Structure 1
Amino acid sequence: MKAGRRNQVKLARQAFLKAGTNAYIDRRRKKRDFRGAWIISINAACREQGISYSQFIKKLKNNKIELDRKVLSEMARSHPESFAQLVKEVAK
């Protein structure tokens, strides 16, 4: 703590409340950032297979395949052959 927040109760309380507010905001921002990162990795893997991200997601929904973006991203990174097979299945 700096600039008097260590010794002055009012400033310390304000700093504490501001820290809590920022923590609340950033917990939500973290979810948003992770979702964006998952979408980017799925999109890159889909482009390698010759399909766009939006077409891939639409075809997944039409085929009633309920895999979330986190799982799809992990599959694209860790098991690219399985992901390629999934893309071929939904692209039919």
Structure 2
Amino acid sequence: MSRATNAPASKRRRKRRLQQARGFYVARSKLYRQATEAVDRAMRLATIHRKLKKREYRALWIVRLSAACQQHGLSYSRLIEGLTKAGVALNRKMLSEIAIHDPEGFAKIVAQAKAAGGASAD
């Protein structure tokens, strides 16, 4: 009995894997085995970095907010405490966008946080 290889499916699978490796350098985009290893690694790292991206952006927003708070004589933690007490439901991303693009609006938010008790221990 002859060996069944299911050639059309194998060819499709290899073609799809090489298609995923487009843009990789030299053998990583031309040779199936190296392309497979490269694509597997790329997919694994993409998964990891999708999770890291969330962490890194939140840290960036906090750094921006901290710098903006210092200009108004308030620490970041006091701002968040004051906003929580005042019942302001703005997330860190929106707060950092406001701080960058609308400084007057951010000053009002800081004043609201100070009034609610964010500057109590300063």
Partners of 2:32 and 2:66 in 1: CA distance: 51
The two structures have a TM-score, normalised by structure 1, of 0.88
Pairs within 5 Å for 1:1-92: 1-2=24-25, 4-92=27-115
Unaligned runs of 5+ residues in structure 2 are: 1-23, 116-122
Seen in structure 2, the aligned counterparts of structure 1 residues 82 and 2 have a Cα distance that, compared at 3 Å, is closer
Structure of greater relative contact order (alpha carbons < 8 Å, 6+ residues apart): 1
How many residue pairs were aligned? Answer: 92
> Segments of 4+ in structure 1 off by > 3 A?
1-8
CA-based RMSD: 1.5
Structure index of larger Rg: 2
Contact 2:82 2:112 in 1 (8 A): no
Unaligned runs of 5+ residues in structure 1 are: none
The two structures have a TM-score, normalised by structure 2, of 0.68
Residue equivalent to 2:18:
none
- In structure 1, what residue type is equivalent to 2:60? A
- In structure 2, what residue type is equivalent to 1:15? A
